[in-house]
Structure 1
């Protein structure tokens, strides 16, 4: 985790970029490792992620490069952050880099979310890895 208003995590996944991309962009798979929502790799697509106790978070896709990059605004109207998933082919697998940026560290909500998500993202990436291992 970084010391600014950005969280960065990375994980090597022993799966090709196409499989990782599918887990990031297929709503059924996405719900298995993180949150239910109608995510689609289409710039301008609006969707909501069901974050359980943290409520329904509105999102909007801002950047797409198939099997390389997916970025979306997250929690519009409350956190107003951006989540970017970057896929780097590495051997027969993929190095996945998650960047969650734009936390307002001067607000209690922003600070709390930054600290909580900083601890939580590694577990989410572990869930993604387990989901990919189970669907391989």
Structure 2
């Protein structure tokens, strides 16, 4: 787990580099150390989404379905980026992810950086 302290932020910006189009589910931990609700989350930006070979859009990283996942288009170079609006300010104490569970399937994040903000204007 990556600890970032008890700070209030409304915009979560993970910039991730992962092995072989990693597949995973994202959890943001609140002040109680438990995952915060993802009901109001929305994707603001994703650098790549595979939609021709299936429904692998970026919102799959927080759709509460461990069998679905975000997949980038093949042969797009790293790092891959996703920007998630949490919908409201949250006290964030950590980050977890659940890698794809199928045997032999890629899904481990190689490196990641997390950027957070309390505001964002397009």
TM (norm. structure 2) is: 0.35
Specify which structure has the bigger relative contact order, considering alpha-carbon pairs within 8 angstroms and separated by 6 or more residues.
Answer: 2
Structure with greater strand share of residues: 2
TM (norm. structure 1) is: 0.33
Structure with greater helix share of residues: 1
